[in-house]
Amino acid sequence: DAFMRRKPKGVVAAITPWNFPFAIPLWLICPSVVEGNTIVLKPSRETACTANKIAEYAHKVGFPPGVINVMHGGCGDMLVRHPDIHVVLFVGSNDVGSEIKRVVAGFNNKMCACEMGGKNAIIVLDDANLDIAVNAAVISAFKTSGQRCTSASRLIVHKKVLDEFEKKFVETTKRVKIGNPLDKDVFMGPVINQVAVEKITRYNELAKKEGAKVLLDGGRLIGEQYKKGYFMSPFVYRMQNSPRSRVLHEEVFGPHVAIIPVKDIGEAIEVHNDTEYGLSCAVITEDYRKAKRIRDDCEYGLGYVNLPTIGAEVHLPFGGVKKSGTGLPSASTLIDVVTHRTAWTINHAMEIKMAQGLTVKL
C-alpha cells in the first residue's frame, strides 16, 4: 500500500484586514483548525470587537483553551518572527505582505500565504451588452465603497462603445444612493476612516494633475445625514493609459474609477496587464473566442465573463499574481498550506518488494 497522509503544521498566525472582519478570519481559522492546527488571529485594530466575538463564539461551542486565540495591537511583527509560528496567513497591503515574505524566508520551518490587493479592471469589448457592462462596472467600482481587494478602479472600454458606455455609466453612478449601509435602499456606505478620506482625496487631485477628463468630481460629503461616518461620492474620469500615470497603476481603495479607451482587444490586454498587480479581471463580451483570449492572455487570479470583478465563488481558488500575492488559497486549497503532505508506503510481503524496479535479491 502507498498513500499520502496530512499532518498539521502546528501554530498558524492569521493577520487580517478590516474590510471583511468576520468572513476573512473564518476563511483562515476553520480549515486550519479542522486539520489539527491551533491558530492566533491578529485582526485589524479598526475591527477589534468583531475578532473578540469570534473568540467568544469559539469558547461557547466548546473549543478547548489555546486552540483559537486572538491578539490585538502592534503584535503582528512579533507573530511573524516567533519561532513557534509555523504558518503565516496574511491579507492586506503589498508593503506589509512583502515584508512578511522576506522575514518568513529566513526560517526553515515557516511559510506564508499572502493576498495583497489589486488594480483590477473590467474590459468592455465592442460587442458588449452595455446594460450588463454598466451594471457590472458600477457594482465592481462602488459596492462597499470600492474597499475590496477585488474592486475595479479601471474600466477598459473599446472606442466603438465608449460614448454610449460612458454616458450610461455616469448616469447610473449619479443615481447611486449613499448613506447608512444598514438601510436596504442604500448602495454605498462610508469609507473606513479619516486616513482613507485623505488618501482617496489625494488620488482624486492627482488624477486631475495627470490630465484626466473628470466626469464626476466626487469627494467628501457634508451634511447632517453624513455626520456619523466618512462618506464620499464617486470620482469618475476618462484618461489615456500611460506607464507614467500613478493613478492608473496604484491601488486607491475607494470610490475612484478611470475609464480608459482602447482601439481593440489587443490593446485592452496590454492595458490590463500594464500594472504591477494581478488579482481580478472581468470581460464583457458576447463572443466566446474573445473571452477565451482574455482568459489566456490577461494576468489575474480571478477571471469573470459578463460579471463584476467581485463576488468570487467560495469553492474556487482565491488569490492573484505579481504584487497581488502568492495566491491566498480558498477554504479547500488552504489545506495544502496548513498541513504537511507525507508519503506512507507499506510492504505486506515476506520479502522486500520495491517500486521503480528497485527490488534486488541478496
Q: How far apart are CA 96 and CA 146, in angstroms?
A: 20
* Chain centre to alpha carbon of residue 123: 18
171 lies in the same domain as 301: yes
117: left (phi over 0), alpha (psi -120 to 50) or beta: left
Q: Tell me which residue of 206, 207, 231 sits closest to 219, measured CA to CA.
A: 231
70 lies in the same domain as 200: no
In the block, cell 478570519 appears at 25
pLDDT recorded at residue 327: 64
Would you say residue 39 lies in a domain? yes
Active-site residue (options: 114, 149, 281, 298): 149
Would you say residue 58 lies in a domain? yes
* 325 within 8 A of 303, measured Cβ to Cβ: no
CATH of the domain at 51: 3.40.605.10
Containing domain of residue 223, as a range?
120-305
pLDDT recorded at residue 314: 75
Would you say residue 225 lies in a domain? yes
Would you say residue 19 lies in a domain? yes
Would you say residue 133 lies in a domain? yes
CATH of the domain at 198: 3.40.309.10
- Give catalytic status of residue 281 as yes or no: no
pLDDT recorded at residue 330: 66
92 lies in the same domain as 168: no
Point out the residues of the chain with pLDDT beneath 70.
327-332
Q: What is the DSSP code (8-state) at residue 178? A: B
Q: Which amino acid is at 22?
A: F
In the block, cell 485623505 appears at 198
Q: How far apart are CA 201 and CA 252, in angstroms?
A: 10
Question: Residue 133: phi, psi to the nearest 5?
Answer: -60, -45
What Å distances lie between residue 237 and 69, 133, 249, 311, CA to CA?
Answer: 45, 17, 15, 25
- Give catalytic status of residue 149 as yes or no: yes
Close Cβ partners of 83 (under 8 Å, ≥ 6 residues apart): 107
pLDDT recorded at residue 43: 97
Would you say residue 349 lies in a domain? no
164 lies in the same domain as 149: yes
Number of domains in the chain: 2
111 lies in the same domain as 127: no
70 lies in the same domain as 143: no
Would you say residue 315 lies in a domain? no
130 lies in the same domain as 262: yes
71 lies in the same domain as 99: yes
75 lies in the same domain as 153: no
Q: Tell me which residue of 197, 248, 238 sits closest to 216, measured CA to CA.
A: 238
107 lies in the same domain as 134: no
174 lies in the same domain as 284: yes
Q: How far apart are CA 18 and CA 192, in angstroms?
A: 8
207 lies in the same domain as 277: yes
Active-site residue (options: 115, 166, 251, 298): 115
